[in-house]
Amino acid sequence: MATVQYFDALGTTQALDLVGESGMLPLDALGGSFPNTSSTFQDDGTRIRQLIYSGGVLRLRYDYTYATVVTPFADKVISQVNVYGSGDELLQRWSGLSMSLASVIATNALPVFQGEDQIEGNALGNVLRRP
């Protein structure tokens, strides 16, 4: 079971724009509400770091912790995602995951809410809301 935690530094949250009833979060949504976003990626062998910029200014950082698997085919399985703000403050933690990187690339979405996942709000009482 995956757990998604929202930390106080995140502030008030907006409803996530999921793909239908699938629980999939489109990769396009990772840039948040910032206009004209671009990304760079770094891989150190156990973590992929995605830096999201808007107007040349760093806005968000996603750290994807993964393990490399070779069966049934070579892939990376993501076990945790940490989301940081521009001041390096932890905004969200998605833990207990088992996401295939090949699947994420193929669907252009993260399977964030699958099965009996748990959402934990921050001090602002944020919960998952429908628009």
**pLDDT tens digit string along 38-58?**
889 999 999 999 999 999 999
**Which pLDDT score, from 0 to 100, does residue 71 have?**
86
**Which pLDDT score, from 0 to 100, does residue 131 have?**
39
Q: What is the mean pLDDT of residues 64-92?
A: 91
Residue 131 falls inside a structural domain: no
Residue 126 falls inside a structural domain: no
Residue 54 falls inside a structural domain: yes
Residue 100 falls inside a structural domain: yes
Residue 103 falls inside a structural domain: yes
Pairwise pLDDT comparison (20 vs 36), residue with the higher score: 36
pTM of the model: 0.77
Residue 9 falls inside a structural domain: yes
Q: Which residue range(s) make up the domain with 39?
A: 3-120
Whether pLDDT at 129 is above 50: no
DSSP letter at 73 equals S
Residue 118 forms beta bridges with which residues? Answer: 3
**Which pLDDT score, from 0 to 100, does residue 74 have?**
93
Residue 130 falls inside a structural domain: no
Residue 48 falls inside a structural domain: yes
Instruction: Name the E strands within 7-130.
Output: 24-26, 37-43, 47-54, 57-69, 75-85, 90-95, 99-100, 109-111, 118-120
Whether pLDDT at 111 is above 90: no
What is the number of domains present in the chain?
Answer: 1
**Which pLDDT score, from 0 to 100, does residue 79 have?**
93
Whether pLDDT at 34 is above 90: no
**Which pLDDT score, from 0 to 100, does residue 130 have?**
40
